[in-house]
Amino acid sequence: MERGGQAGLGSREGPAGNGPDPGCARAAAAPGDGQAAAALLAPMDLGEEPLEKAARARPAKDPNTYKVLSLVLSVCVLTTILGCIFGLKPSCAKEVKSCKGRCFERTFGNCRCDVACVDLGNCCLDYQETCIEPERIWTCSKFRCGEKRLSRSLCSCSDDCRDKGDCCVNYSSVCLGEVSNAHLVPQQPDIPLHGGGVLFEMPPTLLFSLDGFRAEYLHTWGGLLPVISKLKNCGTYTKNMRPVYPTKTFPNHYSIVTGLYPESHGIIDNKIYDPKMNAFFALKSKEKFNPEWYKGEPIWLTTKYQGLKSGTFFWPGSDVEIKGILPDIYKMYNGSIPFEERILAVLKWLQLPKDERRTRFFRSFIWTSQQ
């Protein structure tokens, strides 16, 4: 039996009987079953061992690292969003929605503020109020407050208009919210007169006339005329004036500045024919500038003789060289100049620097607003 058994463990012939089976030879060469299994599994163990070692050698990731990275990324995104909101949105809104500070600039967006926008139909909603009306009106509106200066505006609502002395008449009330005190009587009427920050060493004499202004207007409607009411309360005032005959513009105004009746100062009407001179005087004719028609001594001549200065704005006769003399400042009559522009010009005269006013500038000042 042992021999048979040993014979059973011996080499076997191959299928063709030509030699031993290679697989059986390897199996028979193993010293034992455990060693044979280890020998067969050795290549597999060698292939898996480096991966397991690498996995064990790799350090475990800290979960806080992901939190820090997420927080940094969130902060960056939030900063970008806030930058867009607070940095880009105001400029975009200004460009798209309003003409304030952009009048006649060729900046493009959803709306424009230049002249071409009218034809293109893409003007900003406030184009008319912000860019066009300042060339036509003398008042401020909420659209104009804090505006960028426009070269063609009649008056200004910019933040520096008080320093420049060209604010619109309602700038303080509309843009600054100040309550007008023009109707109040000053508590110290004898203090030196200031005009736009200018201190006068001698108070100027202001004489103004509103042609055709009935005395009843001020008596009945004084509450609607705060500026004129304050001039009345702070200055010299009479309840009424009895006009000279005829009650026309030139005869009465020339009587005021000469103290003479028309038959003495020569201007007896707005239209005159003199047979001796064989000339016709009319307000729209060149003959109006002939000094032969004007007799007497108007107050601007008296001022000149006293070494003082005077300025006139459209007072009848002030643009004529009477006795070869004209006021220091005067304007040739032009009915197309609006009343607001006349007032603004007078205020600028009063605000001239001291070296230009000298010591007694505008000691006598005459101005009229004719209709």
Active-site residues, by number, are 249
CB 288 within 8 A of CB 320: yes
Alpha-carbon distance 167 to 348, whole Å? 11
Q: For the CA atoms of 364, 343, 324, 253, what is the dihedral angle to 10 degrees?
A: -80
Alpha-carbon distance 130 to 116, whole Å? 16
Alpha-carbon distance 221 to 205, whole Å? 26
Following DSSP, what letter does each residue of 287-353 receive, concatenated?
Answer: GGG-GGG--S--HHHHHHHTT--EEEES-TTTTS-BTTB--SB-----TTS-HHHHHHHHHHHHT--
Please state, in angstroms and as integers, the Cα–Cα distance from residue 282 to each residue in 273, 287, 288, 296, 321, following that order: 9, 7, 6, 19, 17
Alpha-carbon distance 232 to 218, whole Å? 10
Which pair of tokens denotes residue 355? 């070296």
Please state, in angstroms and as integers, the Cα–Cα distance from residue 99 to each residue in 93, 104, 105, 151, 170, following that order: 11, 9, 9, 16, 22
Bridge-based pairing of strands 310-313 and 205-210 is: unpaired
CB 318 within 8 A of CB 344: no
Alpha-carbon distance 110 to 98, whole Å? 10
Residue 327: exposed, middle, or buried by beta-carbon count in 10 A (0-12, 13-18, 19+)? buried
CB 173 within 8 A of CB 179: yes
Sheet containing 364-369: which strands, arranged edge to edge? 205-210, 364-369, 310-313
H or E element, residue 274: strand 271-274
Positive/negative CA dihedral, 166, 169, 175, 179? positive
